[in-house]
Structure 1
Amino acid sequence: MHTGLTRCLAVALLILLLQPASHALADHSLRYPRPLPGHEQRNSYIMALLQLTLDKAGSHLRLQPSEHYMEQRRALRELQLGRSVDVVWAMTSRERETQLLPIRIPLDKGLLGWRLALVKKQARTPLGAIHDRQALHRLRAGQGHDWPDSQILAHNGLPVITSASYPSLFRMLEAGRFEYFPRSLLEIWDEAAQPQNARLEIDRHLLLVYPTASYFFVSPGNTRLADELQSGLEQALTDGSFDRLFYTHYGDALQRARLSERQLIELDNPLLPPDTPLQRAELWLSREQLLKP
């Protein structure tokens, strides 16, 4: 009887040891996608927010870039497979929320779906004559081929030219492969300021808006890490440190965008998951706030 009990305990211990463990919680590192060379500054807000989240949660995890550079598509795939990275930030979609575990607090306050356009520098931008969605059908937009934005634009009847490479999209715009490159108003200023984009500029006329959000995602089943990130973000929202960090990074961009002076064109988002927390007003910047003169 004693021997049988011992065997059962040994088998149970072996099963426990063979269970896949979160890398982040196993060695106290939290691996995130290493940015492409020259694009490190694009992640400054997210890295600061991720560290703030860990601090608020009382976490002992330390941030560590992945061994190799990776664009978003690869990072999401690695996360789904539970290797190379432990957390990725990306626009949400129905597909992504079935493949990964989202922490449903918008990192961008919903502004990922507020889009300005990069265009070629020229005397007269082609977007200046656009006053409704129908007129926009005459122009081609550029987007990443696996970005949810590509499907959103196409769903709304807008022509889209795609590329598998983020850096190549800027070169394609300059070469005239498409007329405009919609970018979030939070990221477009840094992109336009890059030396390699000196022949591009930010259009002053158009504003595209569709409902969406950027979240932290973790591997399926990694509920312990998800709970830790959720707790940290909720505490940062409650004590105001989330907002302070957001406006420190993006307050100037919101002012420079002059949103109330732009031609607003609303687009539908068929990819918006039903569990998007639209009812939590404190998570989003309202249209009234953004469009006031």
Structure 2
Amino acid sequence: MLRIPLLAGWRWLLGLLLLSLLPPLYADEGGVIHYPRRTDGDEFRSVYELALLQLALEKADSPLRLEPSYYSMEQERALVNLERNERLDVVWSVTSHEREQRLLPVRIPLDKGLYGWRIALLPSSREALLKNVRTLDDLRPFSAGQGHDWPDTDILRSNGLPVTISANYGSLFRMLQAQRFDYFPRSLIEIWGELEHPRSKQLVADTHVLLHYPAAMYFFFSRQRPELAETVRLGLERAIADGSFEHLFQQHFAADLQRAQLNQRQVIELENPLLPSATPLQRRELWLTPLSPAR
């Protein structure tokens, strides 16, 4: 039997008591969660995700506060920093087998699956480009633009669609205007905000086609920070249960979904070979099918 001298025993017990009274460890000593900063002018792309993350923290009764990284980061750099547990505590991204192996996902789709519903951005001079597209074969003669490290790039290619890539998000809009590729598929919850940006003044949203593949955007955390992931998971589950998740989602995207006039479009279904088997497709409350039942 382990014997602890009397004085040492009291110190040991006192140490346990003090540890029990300390607050839980947070992302750093200041209780801050660092997320990847957007480049100047692109902050609108993070408004919903940050609002949802803040909601999750509030529902989990967490005192953590959110701060952007010092420098802006493209997606892959942010994922690498998160994987190394350096300078970042959370990243939100479309999931894939590879990302779930590297990082710790909270498997609640922030987008309710809408990142897999895509409308094409087109040059305004070519707004009728996809008018006669009815099938996947009809779409294959046209080239899509995508980020070099986006899962969507591999998804489109795996379905036989040609893709032109860029390492920089902003450059894709300039490349589309220069007709370096034919169309730029954007999610239902991205496209309208992007069209309001000055760089899209010569672009329009296609009115004919709706691409769909199963996809989910998650909050990802370092595998060294399971307690942070659990805090956010708990907060999201509580927000789902009390309706505040749905309220926030509708507040941000209800008008966009109506604007898209989805039932007037030709739907083209794609397969997603990157979708992990652990994706909670059976939890119907986590997903939104944006088309009416008649579709």
Q: TM-score, normalised by structure 2?
A: 0.90
Once the two structures are superposed, the pairs formed by residues 32-111 of structure 1 within 5 Å of their partners are: 32-111=35-114
Shift of 1:221: 2.7
Task: Give the AA of the match of 1:126.
Answer: L
Asked if structure 2 preserves the Cα contact closer than 8 Å seen for 1:23 and 1:86, the reply is: no
Are 1:137 and 2:140 counterparts?
A: yes
Are residue 271 (structure 1) and residue 274 (structure 2) matched?
yes
Distance 2:178 2:156 in 1: 21
1:222 Cα deviation from its structure 2 partner: 1.1
Distance 1:76 1:93, change over 3 A: same
SS at match of 1:246: helix
Task: Classify the secondary structure of the residue corresponding to 1:286.
Answer: coil
Give the number of the structure whose residues are more often helix, by fraction: 1
Instruction: Say if 1:36 and 1:70, in contact at 8 Å, map to a contact too.
Output: yes
The DSSP-based 3-state class of the residue aligned with 2:130 is helix
Structure 1 match to 2:242: 239
Alpha carbons 1:22, 1:222 under 8 Å: kept: no
Aligned residue identity for 1:45: Y
- RMSD (Å) for aligned C-alpha atoms: 2.1
Partner of 1:199: 202
Alpha carbons of structure 1 residues 230 and 265: separation in structure 2 relative to 1, 3 Å: same
Equivalences for residues 209-224 of structure 1 within 5 A:
209-224=212-227
SS at match of 2:125: coil
1:280 corresponds to which of 283, 286, 290: 283
Q: Decide which of 249, 253, 275 is 1:250's aligned counterpart.
A: 253
For the 8 Å contact 2:127–2:204, the answer to whether it is kept is: no
In structure 1, how many angstroms separate the alpha carbons of the residues matched to 2:78 and 2:285? Answer: 29
Question: Deviation of residue 2 (structure 1)?
Answer: 7.1
How many Å separate the matches in 2 of 1:77 and 1:23? 21
Q: Quote the residue 2:116 is aligned against.
A: 113
- Look up the equivalent residue of 2:280 and give its one-letter code: P
Q: Which structure 1 segments of 5+ residues have no match?
A: 10-20
**The one of 154, 172, 187 aligned to 1:169:** 172
Q: 1:48 to 1:2 in 2, by over 3 A?
A: closer
Q: Aligned-pair distance for 1:72?
A: 1.2
Q: Give me the TM-score of the superposition, normalised by structure 1.
A: 0.91
Q: Which runs of 4+ in 1 moved over 2 A?
A: 286-289
Task: Say which SS state the counterpart of residue 219 (structure 2) adopts.
Answer: strand
Q: Which amino acid aligns with 1:201?
A: V
Q: Distance in 2 between matches of 1:242 and 1:232?
A: 10
CA distance, structure 1, for counterparts of residue 278 and residue 78 of structure 2 = 23
- 1:196 deviates by 1.8
Structure 2 residues without counterparts, runs of 5 or longer: 13-23
Partner SS, residue 27 of structure 2: helix
Greater shift after overlay, 64-73 or 265-274?
A: 64-73
**Deviation of the 1:206 alpha carbon:** 0.7
- More displaced, 67-76 or 146-155? 67-76
1:241-276 deviation per Cα after TM superposition (whole angstroms, max 9, x unaligned): 000000000000000011111010000000000100
1:149 positional shift: 0.2
Alpha-carbon deviation of 1:292?
5.2
- Higher alpha-carbon deviation: 35-44 or 238-247: 35-44
Q: Secondary structure at the match of 1:43?
A: helix
- What is the letter of the counterpart of residue 144 of structure 2? A
In the superposition, relative to structure 1, how do residues 269 and 22 fare at CA in structure 2: closer, same or farther (>3 Å)? Answer: farther
In the alignment, what sits opposite 2:183?
A: 180
